Structure 1
């Protein structure tokens, strides 16, 4: 079968996510396997064009991986007809302007989330892309986690019966940066640079909840800055201006209630950094990044509340593992393959700019709820 080549402009590969997940574990990995296989058996390889503001950093990455094409001139990269796809992993604050350039150049767009800093900006991009006839997609990596793929399988099989509630725990302790180096870049803690855990994580929770359990119809949230001072990459102290924890209740279509704690100021006492517990009339499940355990109605134990007696039940041992059944793969790579098929053969890709706008809206609504101390309703969003 023939092998085609698809030019991809990659803007922002000097950052952690752009480099590690999108370039190394996705684009390079796809080419090493021989490309993306299409429905007719043919394959598409990807020709990355690395773009960044720092020539030295971009050149070093290109040399490290034997890539010939890199530039600091985004306009020149977009002007090359061989490049049909534009990918953006820059800071959110500069993303929208670059995406507009790419749409004007007639490129198909795939971008990290959030697609824009505002709902209005995200909707404007969706309308602009629609008018230009370019395909568009936003990263939705959590849906491809092995644990959540197992959870989807349970939902689709009817395992839960009527789903009642979802409880999510996400987070870990991010060092302040003074006596131990922080695990996240300092811009995450500056609202003026697009930082904050609400902006970062509520976009994820929107597509996870919507795709697995139902559309988010309202949010009640409290955003907090627990650690008011941190130290940046140069060891300099700075004031934190963004939230580092958020506690939220999401009400979903169909009556499901989801509670999520998201925090960069919590020490982990759970099996994985992200865990979702789903409870239904016929069974329950706890899913993490990789693992998933279940407890069906017929095997549910009979706990009895008696605080005067030591409880001898080993509750964690009363759950059974959900098998993998298929080899797991990197979720970012799977999304790239999905988007390439969408571009080349019009295969389905439901997570477009409009879906991305819903995630931005949930984040904004969460911040509004926290600021005003009230529940915020979320009607259907449309163009």
Structure 2
């Protein structure tokens, strides 16, 4: 017996992330493989409808891009209100601006639709908590993107932790970021949208990335107990999409120490104003009594206690040790699918009652709490305890 397709309204997917990760590499890839396979062995088909304000961009994605990917066009519309009221729509997905998101999710949930969205779900903890409460009251299926949990490098770290490779875990150091061009004359064009650098539009490094660090740290190492943070706007002016200069009002770099309930200390540096000299755009080093690991987005390198070198501090002679030696690259023991696609498949299975899905709006609200605590710490220049606690998703 063939299953009826789930109709998924995708709002705000004309941006780089929405187009590449959510539409092409997730939804269209799922259609190309025949749907999402359920525990029964059946395949759950899906049917997207693209929603947004720019008809030209929507049509190109729905007709040209979709035909290239799956051999046919898909539906699109600029009538957002009609989609929110359409009872044939099963899932409403939002990847638009953070400021629009709470009202759109609220309307969709009140219409009985399952909701799935990018992070952050809101720019302040109260609004995030209210959204989680609406989800609870309406009883709809709900979730937020927490894609980094399924990155190959992170999955390898999780495997090492579960196997006890680290011994007693001591500390974690995360380095994230790259140089985002300003767009000025003689410069490369900016590779991120201008709203990212305006706090009045919901932009900022802390609200963007601390939501990621919350679920990543919690999943791998345990809940965050308190935070000490510093945020700064290092580039004061950039060029927007129309070629006009604008003043940057949001933080473009944030530095934090997260003290965990387990006693582990995590340090995370996040910057859009740094040039990369490391293995990847995100690297996470975990040190333990029995071994250490450094993971990027896809690869992971390990060094056990038995092969740890014994360096001697002597600045008067060239360093005799190549510290990249004695690290072993972990092999790929399985095929790693796109991290966004993996979570999409889990959420679709959840919507048809075939899987649990703990990455809810309530869990995403913990990320907003951490970002708010980081901002308070930076403003007040002191440690801030995490009110309401970190999430407990595993």
Shorter chain as denominator, the TM-score bin is over 0.9
Matched position secondary structure for 2:325: helix
Runs of 4+ in structure 1 over 4 Å off: none
TM-score normalised by the chain length of structure 2: 0.95
Q: Does 1:255 align with 2:295?
A: no
**Equivalent residue number for residue 69 of structure 2:** none
Tell me what 2:113 maps to.
107
Aligned-residue offset at 1:55? 2.2
Alignment equivalent of 1:237, drawn from 239, 245, 248: 245
Question: Displacement of 1:346 after TM fit?
Answer: 4.3
> 339, 344, 355: which one pairs with 1:336?
344
1:1-383 equivalences under 5 Å are 2-64=2-64, 65=66, 66-178=72-184, 179-381=187-389
Q: Describe the SS at the equivalent of 1:278.
A: strand
Q: Deviation string for 1:182-232 (max 9, x for gaps)?
A: 111111100011111111100000000000001011110000111001111
Q: Deviations over 1:93-151 (max 9, x none)?
A: 10101001100110011000001111111111111111111011100011111111101
Contact 2:223 2:390 in 1 (8 A): no
Distance 1:382 1:284 in 2: 25
Distance in 2 separating the partners of 1:147 and 1:206: 17
Q: Does the aligned pair in 1 maintain the 2:231–2:254 contact within 8 Å?
A: yes
- For the aligned residues, what is the CA RMSD? 1.4
Contact 1:230 1:240 in 2 (8 A): yes
Residue 74 of structure 1: CA displacement?
A: 1.9
1:133-182 C-alpha deviation (Å, 9 max, x unpaired): 10111000111111111011111111111111000000001111112101
Q: Quick check: 1:354–1:382 contact (8 Å CA) kept in 2?
A: no
How many residue pairs get aligned? The number is 383
1:220–1:374: 8 Å Cα contact kept in structure 2? yes
Distance 1:119 1:381 in 2: 12
CA contact (8 A) 2:369 2:387 kept: no
Q: How far, CA to CA, are the matches of 1:28 and 1:166 in structure 2?
A: 36
Deviation at 1:307, TM superposition (A): 1.9
Long gaps (5+) in structure 2: 67-71
TM-score relative to the length of structure 1: 0.97
Measure, in 1, the Cα distance between the counterparts of 2:299 and 2:268.
Answer: 19
The worse-fitting range, judged by mean Cα deviation, of 302-311 and 325-334 is 302-311
1:45 Cα shift?
1.7
- Aligned mates of 1:209, 1:191 — CA distance in 2: 25
Kept in 1: contact 2:218–2:390 (CA 8 A)? no
Shift of 1:73: 1.6
Q: Distance in 1 between matches of 2:334 and 2:2?
A: 28
**Structure 1: tracts of 5 or more residues without a match:** none
